[in-house]
Structure formats: C-alpha cells, structure tokens
Structure 1
Amino acid sequence: MTILIVILFFVLLFMAIPISLVLGITTILYFFLVGNTTLLESTPMRLYSGLDNFGLLAIPLFMLAGELMNGGGITKRLVTFARVLFGHVRGGLAYVTVVANMFLASILGSANAQAAMMSKVMVPEMEKEGYNKEFSSALTLASSIVAPIIPPSMIFIIYGTLSGTSIGGLFMAGIIPGILYGIGFISLIAFIGYKYNFKKTTKATGREIFKSTLNVLPALLVPFIIIAGILSGAFTATESAAIASVVAYLVGALLYRELTFNKIPGILINTVIATATVTFLIAMANIFGWMIAFEQIPQAIVSAMTTLSDNPFVFLFLVNILLLLLGAVLDGIAALIILVPVFMPLLTAFEIDPIHFGVIICINLTIGLLTPPVGTGLFIVSSIAEVRFEKLVKSTMPFLIMGILILFVITYWEGAVLLIPNWLGL
C-alpha cells in the first residue's frame, strides 16, 4: 500500500495539481482504498486540530505587518538606505539587493513574498544601471532566501509549533546563519563583479547619508521591537507579531503619512488571501502526516537511517541530501509539516539539538525555492521579471551552489547556530 501511495502522490504532483490539493486527495483516496470509514469520519476533526495552535496565529499577524510596512513606505526607505550606503562601490546595486533583502527579512519572514516584492523594485533598477536581466533576477531570487532565516520567520514558527521547540530560540538561532548567507552572496557578487567589470555609481555625500539614516530610523523600529521584546521576555514571538503590526501602522500612517485609509482594504485582503493559502496547506499536510503515521512510514525511515549509520555527522549529511532532493519537488512548508514528525524521534538518538536541526531543515527547504522543477521562487521571479524560466535557472546556479555550501557550514558548525540562543538561555 505504501508504494501505491507514493505513486499516486507523484502522479498527482506531475499533473500540476497544487500541492495542498495533492496532499488532501492522496489522503482521502488512501482511506477509501484501505476501506477504513472511521478514518474518513475523523478527517474533519484532524483538519481542524492541525490549525488549533496558538503559535500559528503569528503567521497572519506577521503577514499583516509586512503588508502594512509595504503600504506605508517603510520597505521603500529600507531599500533607499541600503543604496545610499553601498551603491557607490563596484557592483553597488547588486550589494544593495542583498543588504536590502537582509533588512526586509527582519520584517516579512516569507521568501516568496520577498522575491515577488524585490523583483518589482530591484530588477528594473539594475537593468537601468546596465546589469544583465537574468543576473539581476537570479540575484534577487537568491537573496530572498534569507527571509525565512533572519527573524521573524514563518517557517521557524511552523517548525517550532510542530516540534515543541522554542520559537524565540529559533528566531535567535537564525541571526548568524542569515548573516553568513549575506556574506556568502556578497563575496560571490564581488567575484562576478570584478570578472565582468560591474559599474560604479556616485558616492553619496555625508548629508545624504545622514538624511537617509534619519529617514529610515522609524522603519527599523519594527524589527528592533520584535527582537528586543522576545529577548527581554516582554512578549512571546506570537505577541510580537501583533505589536509589530501596530507599530508598522503607526509609522506608516503618522510618521511617513503614506499609509492612507484607502490602502487598508487592499492590505487586509492580501493578508487574508496569503493566510488562507498557508493555513489550507497546513491543514492538508496535517491529514497527510496522519496517513503516513498510520502506514508507519516514519518508523520505517527511522529504522533505515539508524541501520545505515549511528554517526550524527553521517546522519545530518543524509538528511541534507534527502531534503535537497525533496525540496526540488515539494513545497517547503508542506515538506516541513510532513517530515518533522518523521525526524523528531531521531534527534534524541543522535543527540542533535532540536534548535540546530530546525535551522538546518528550514534553510534546506528554503533552498528548494531555487531548485527546478518545482521551485516556486523561480516561477514567481520568472513571471514578474519577465525572464525565460530556463535562463533564470542557469543564472541562479552559482547562488544555489553558494547556498548549499553555506548550508553544510551551518550543519557542521553547531556553535554558529546556537551561540546566541545559548547566550540568552533559550
């Protein structure tokens, strides 16, 4: 029966049916095949219970904060600030794309949302400066993968909820890996820039830097309040999302005066649509996970992996290879919800810290946004930037290789991930 489930799953997937529907259809057909009506009767309750978790409330709240910041002109000022600081060096606008993505990562927490937004903003700007369109699009897409790493992070919230791991600890654990990705991509740009002789632009004056800094300070209030509040224990990660939304509204409406009342309905509609998409996927993945648990697939995987090796380094290597392959064909959130219950029993056996493992699995599945054939980031940027899909894939390869190299550094350098959480006692 297990083989039949796998075949059915991939047939539906390659028919280009949305992944959330694939998960649900596969599960319901399985229940009919085994003839277990009790499972069918319990399915609605399982769908509801998969969403009945306080931690998941942070998802719509962070999405709302991101929409408010975008509508209130906060995003635009962060990009301008990055350009004033780094735009004058060789390949400056490419560096600005990476740095601006790191700023925005502390607000949005979603790589797909960030890739879509930055494709509209940075790709046309880089084209005006003479950059190749395919390179500009690939850089924008690759830089967006820091969004789920630097806090706040939607994928960390889901992992923490599924595994019972501290979401605040995961948020803090993502800071150093996010910086490492920024350094890695900047180093790659420097190499490509000198090889292809990227242009320089005029250096900003001291007055322009000062003015831009004053202009961006209110925008930086949102990530500062999120991190400071979690660190001080003033509020939880979920509560920080609500406070971030309030601050984003006040900054956009009262200080920048760009968040007008007319924009609010559109912001709320975008938030509801994005939230519904994610929560529907979580609900479907929950019943799919219930099905694979009923088939005892997790136990079979655990048994197979422990048979291969009892060395945690080998185990982590195998996990990374498995996740990289799955990330090429599965949506990251769906894969996370399916796989976390499979891997959690193994962490104790291999003495692996769940926060460290959470960062590994979340980064790995985020890299899936860059990998064909199902990498959603590729389709988003290809559509918005109007770049041929195959050309975008080719241009993304150097960034994908760099991303995988940094992933393995993070995998085997536990101290880089756990330094801040251990220091804060999380």
Structure 2
Amino acid sequence: MIAALAFVVLLALGVPIGWVLILTALAIIAQGGDWILLQSLPQQLYGGIESYALLALPLFTLLGELMGAGGIGRRLFALAGALLPPLKGGLAYVNLLANMLMASVLGSTTAQITVMSRLAVPEMERAGHPRDLSATITAAGGLLAPILPPSMNFIVFAAIAQLPVADLFLAGVVPGLAMAGLFVVVIARYARRHDLPSVAPQPFRGRALAILDALPALLVPMIAVGSILAGIATPTEAAAVSSFAAIVIGAGVYRELRFRDIPAALLRAARGAGQVLFLVACAQLLGWVLTYSNLPALTAATLQDLTSSPLGFLLLLNILLLLLGMIMEPIPAIILTAPVLLPVATDVYGIDPVAFGVICCVNLTLGLLTPPVGAGLYTTALLTETRPLRLARLLLPFFAAVLVILLGMTLFTAFQS
C-alpha cells in the first residue's frame, strides 16, 4: 500500500517516470524490510538493458533521423500521392498511405507525427483541406507506427518478455493493416461530411517521375521490414543495414544528406534511445522487486477470484490498459505491466505471449493521443498550431476504429486459449 501510494504521489508531482520507478522499488524494499536487495540494485539496473534485442532500438531511432535528413521521407510522401487515383479528399488518403510507408521504418509515433506534420499538413492546407482535419489525419496515421513493424513498443516488450522480436513484428502486420483499412472508412466519411477537395489527376509523366524518384527511398523500408519477415536478418541487423542504406541513398543518390549532418543525427538518436533505455533499466529493477515480493502470484489470485475465463481476463486487462494509457506513455506502461501480468496471462489463463504482447501494444497506443498525457496529441497540436481538444474530438472515430480491432483481437485470442 505504501509503495502504491508513493508511485501515485510521485507521478502526480511530475517526477520523471524513471525516477518514479526507482523510488517505488526502494519504497517496496523499505516496506518489506528486505535491505539485502539493495546490494543487487546496480546489477539489476545494468541487467535490464543487457539485451541484444534492445540494440535495435537506438539503430531504428537513428534510421528515422537519417531518413528525415536525407529527403527519404519527403519522397515516400510523393510516392503515396503518385500511387493513389484521384479521389474526393485525395490528399487525406495520400497522408494515410505515406504514414503506412513511414511506419515501416520509423516505428515511433512521436517521430512519425513530427515528420508527417511538416510534410503532409502544409500540402493538405494548400490544397484546401482544413488545418484541424489535416492535423487529425496526420495524428491518426501516427497510431500505425507502434503496430506496423518495426515497432519500438514491440522491441521493448520482446526484451522484457524474452520473446523473439520478429514474432511480434509478424503478429503486428494484420492488426496494423486492418486498422489502416478502417481508417480509410473514417477518412471517406470525413471527406463527404466536410466536402474535401479532390486531387487533380496527375499526368502519366509526372506520376512516373515521382515513382522513379522514390524507388531508391523505397529500398529503405524494404530492407528494414523485408529482411526481418523473410528471416534473413534479425531486427538489430536489419536496423543497422537500413541505416547504412539511408546514408548511401541520402548522401549518394539524393545528395541531401551531408556527412557533417551525420554526427548531429547520431547525437539526437543517442539522446532519444538513451531516455527509453533508462526507462527499461528502471522498470527491470521495479519488476525484479515486485517479483521478489510475490506480486505476480497475488495478482493472479485476485484475477482468478474475479474471473476464471481468458476472455474475462483480457477484457479486464483492456480496461486497465486503457486507463493506464491515459496517464502514462506506452513504453513505460509496457515496462511496468508486462513483468506482472504476462506470467498471469500465460501460466493461469494459457494465453499466447505474442498475442498478449500485441494486444497490450495496440491498446496502449491509444494513450499517445488521449489527454491528459497524450504526447502524440500535443506534438501534433504544437507543430500544426491546432487546439488539442479540437484534435481529440476529431480523433474519436479513429479511436472507435482501433477499439473495434482491439475487440476482435481480444475475442480471437480468448477463443484460441
């Protein structure tokens, strides 16, 4: 009880989440009087990030930085426009398709929204689309980044659960594509309601030139995702090779990436990845203390008193994660809940750990665009100069689409257990 109170109070005071996790672990040790555990704290912190799978995280972060600096992201957006036929509200569909292409290499909602807010929103506004709706579609497209491979959330979950990252990547493809399909339905509804302008048909020559110009850029996501799904490379190896390909294409083909830009990209990637890895280390420490205090067994007993069916457990899990996602970023939430709930899901209810991980990651993705935390929501609002509450209201149909996918995954997983 004291530890739970400490966690809530520290979180409410705005203490950085990494220190919240460490101080909560210390509170649990103090409450139980197990002072001998203090001797192993440095070892547990180090052990939390001593994982080959986690090496993919800074490399994919670097890949996103190199893509932005090398003009690859801009050409993928142009490619999306060249591939789609002229439709009512056509740039909205282009935005979504470009988000899918960007999701296949960035893996981070915040990074994706940052890039797409700069690329897509000005183009849509110039074509006559309302800014708030353009920003909404850009933010909704960012929900695909943590689901379509390579996903930072999947990498972190795999490291904590000791699962193959490639299995989680593969399991995320179908939900990600289904989510994109429902987003198309939502965009079509908005296009009719707001009478969005149609895109003039591109001449064949212009379309062909855009496709040819984007072919080198398309190699980057093909290498990143294709090599993993084909079993040719591990996610870490794929991220390294893709980053090298982004340098070659950005500097040698497009000549937009200068070699003096690379150190700055490395520094930004190191800072971003370092923040996440510090959270992983802190959460590993808290998970170790919780396991020592027998919390997973107590949680399993409590849940068994509430429900004996996998479906009941998954429904309770979704409610818990939806509430948790509103106040916490996805990666810290995964780090906090996976060590406690995964053993219960697999050992007590017989739920497949990969399916459990995908459900958790899809669920917690919604928290990126929901108040009061909603890093993706506030990033979009800041970059597009749009009111956050207006964005949140316009995003409701996209939230409903994700909940439909989440319910379908929950039912399928429960019946397979």
- SS of residue in 2 equivalent to 1:16: coil
Judge conservation of contact 2:64–2:111 (CA < 8 Å) in 1.
no
Judge conservation of contact 2:73–2:115 (CA < 8 Å) in 1.
no
- SS of residue in 1 equivalent to 2:216: coil
Name which of structure 1's ranges 124-133 and 337-346 shifts more when overlaid on structure 2.
124-133
Amino acid at match of 1:378: L
Name which of structure 1's ranges 359-368 and 311-320 shifts more when overlaid on structure 2.
311-320
| CA deviation string 1:7-65 (max 9, x = no partner) | 22112212222222222232234434544432223211111110111110000111111
> Residue in 2 aligned with 1:291?
289
| CA deviation string 1:159-179 (max 9, x = no partner) | 112112221111111111111
> Residue in 1 aligned with 2:18?
20
Judge conservation of contact 1:114–1:144 (CA < 8 Å) in 2.
yes
Judge conservation of contact 2:87–2:199 (CA < 8 Å) in 1.
yes
Judge conservation of contact 2:2–2:31 (CA < 8 Å) in 1.
no
> Residue in 2 aligned with 1:405?
404
Q: Distance in 2 between matches of 1:409 and 1:9?
A: 33
Does residue 1:116 correspond to 2:114, yes or no? yes
> Residue in 2 aligned with 1:94?
92
> Residue in 2 aligned with 1:167?
165
TM-score computed with the length of structure 2 as normaliser: 0.94
Name which of structure 1's ranges 388-397 and 141-150 shifts more when overlaid on structure 2.
388-397
> Residue in 2 aligned with 1:356?
355
Name which of structure 1's ranges 305-314 and 252-261 shifts more when overlaid on structure 2.
305-314
1:317 equivalent among 315, 318, 324: 315
Q: Distance in 1 between matches of 2:189 and 2:386?
A: 24
1:285 positional shift:
1.4
Q: Distance in 1 between matches of 2:324 and 2:69?
A: 35
Judge conservation of contact 1:98–1:140 (CA < 8 Å) in 2.
yes
Does residue 1:372 correspond to 2:371, yes or no? yes
Does residue 1:387 correspond to 2:386, yes or no? yes
Q: Distance in 2 between matches of 1:304 and 1:81?
A: 52
Name which of structure 1's ranges 171-180 and 27-36 shifts more when overlaid on structure 2.
27-36
1:343 equivalent among 337, 341, 347: 341
Judge conservation of contact 1:382–1:392 (CA < 8 Å) in 2.
yes
Matches within 5 A, 1:153-192: 153-192=151-190
1:414 positional shift:
5.0
> Residue in 2 aligned with 1:420?
none
Q: Distance in 1 between matches of 2:291 and 2:242?
A: 37
Matches within 5 A, 1:130-141: 130-141=128-139
Judge conservation of contact 1:87–1:93 (CA < 8 Å) in 2.
no
Q: Distance in 1 between matches of 2:230 and 2:122?
A: 41
Judge conservation of contact 2:300–2:348 (CA < 8 Å) in 1.
no
Q: What is the number of equivalent residue pairs in this alignment? A: 414
Amino acid at match of 1:362: C
Q: Distance in 2 between matches of 1:139 and 1:11?
A: 36
Q: Distance in 1 between matches of 2:28 and 2:231?
A: 45
Q: Distance in 2 between matches of 1:229 and 1:82?
A: 22
Q: Distance in 2 between matches of 1:348 and 1:29?
A: 28
> Residue in 2 aligned with 1:7?
5
1:90 positional shift:
0.8
Matches within 5 A, 1:241-256: 241-256=239-254
1:128 to 1:18, Cα distance in 2 relative to 1, 3 A:
farther
| CA deviation string 1:182-240 (max 9, x = no partner) | 11111101011112211112111111221111111111112222333224432212111
- SS of residue in 1 equivalent to 2:44: helix
Judge conservation of contact 2:117–2:384 (CA < 8 Å) in 1.
yes
1:73 positional shift:
0.8
Q: Distance in 1 between matches of 2:336 and 2:247?
A: 36
Q: Distance in 1 between matches of 2:297 and 2:378?
A: 35
| CA deviation string 1:361-398 (max 9, x = no partner) | 11111111112112211222122222222222222222
| CA deviation string 1:134-153 (max 9, x = no partner) | 22222211110111111111
1:225 equivalent among 223, 226, 240: 223
Amino acid at match of 1:400: F
- SS of residue in 2 equivalent to 1:213: helix
Q: Distance in 2 between matches of 1:33 and 1:307?
A: 26
Judge conservation of contact 1:162–1:341 (CA < 8 Å) in 2.
yes
Name which of structure 1's ranges 323-332 and 86-95 shifts more when overlaid on structure 2.
86-95
> Residue in 1 aligned with 2:126?
128
1:316 to 1:119, Cα distance in 2 relative to 1, 3 A:
same
Judge conservation of contact 2:6–2:27 (CA < 8 Å) in 1.
no
Q: Which runs of 5+ in 1 are unaligned?
A: 418-426
Q: Distance in 2 between matches of 1:172 and 1:154?
A: 14
Q: Distance in 1 between matches of 2:115 and 2:214?
A: 19
1:301 positional shift:
1.6
Q: Distance in 2 between matches of 1:413 and 1:209?
A: 41
Amino acid at match of 1:14: A
Amino acid at match of 1:405: V
1:400 to 1:233, Cα distance in 2 relative to 1, 3 A:
closer
- SS of residue in 2 equivalent to 1:76: helix
TM-score computed with the length of structure 1 as normaliser: 0.92
1:301 to 1:34, Cα distance in 2 relative to 1, 3 A:
closer
Judge conservation of contact 1:148–1:155 (CA < 8 Å) in 2.
yes
Judge conservation of contact 2:228–2:235 (CA < 8 Å) in 1.
yes
Amino acid at match of 1:309: T
1:232 to 1:189, Cα distance in 2 relative to 1, 3 A:
closer
> Residue in 2 aligned with 1:422?
none
